[in-house]
Amino acid sequence: MRRGWYALLVLPFVGTLTPPIYNHVHPMLFGMPFFYWYQLAWVLVTAALLGLFVFVTREHHDV
C-alpha cells in the first residue's frame, strides 16, 4: 500500500525536469514569465505533496 504513495513523489521531478513543458514566456502572472512562476508553483505543490506523503505513511503509535 505504501509503495503507491512513493509514486506521488515522482510528480515534482517530472514537472520540473522536463523544460519543454514550461520553457515559455506566456502566460504571464503578475508580470512574471511562465518559466519562473511555473517553477515557483512546483515549490508549493511539492511541499503539499510531501506533507501529504508524511501524513499518510507515518507510523501511528498509541501512547
Q: Tens digit of pLDDT for each residue in 5-46? A: 888 889 999 999 988 888 899 999 999 999 999 999 999 999
C-alpha–C-alpha distance, residues 30 and 18, integer Å = 24
How deeply is 22 buried, as exposed, middle or buried, from its count of CB atoms within 10 A (0-12, 13-18, 19+)?
middle
**Is the per-residue pLDDT at 59 higher than 80?**
no
What pLDDT does residue 61 have?
60
What pLDDT does residue 26 have?
93
Domain ranges of the chain: 2-57
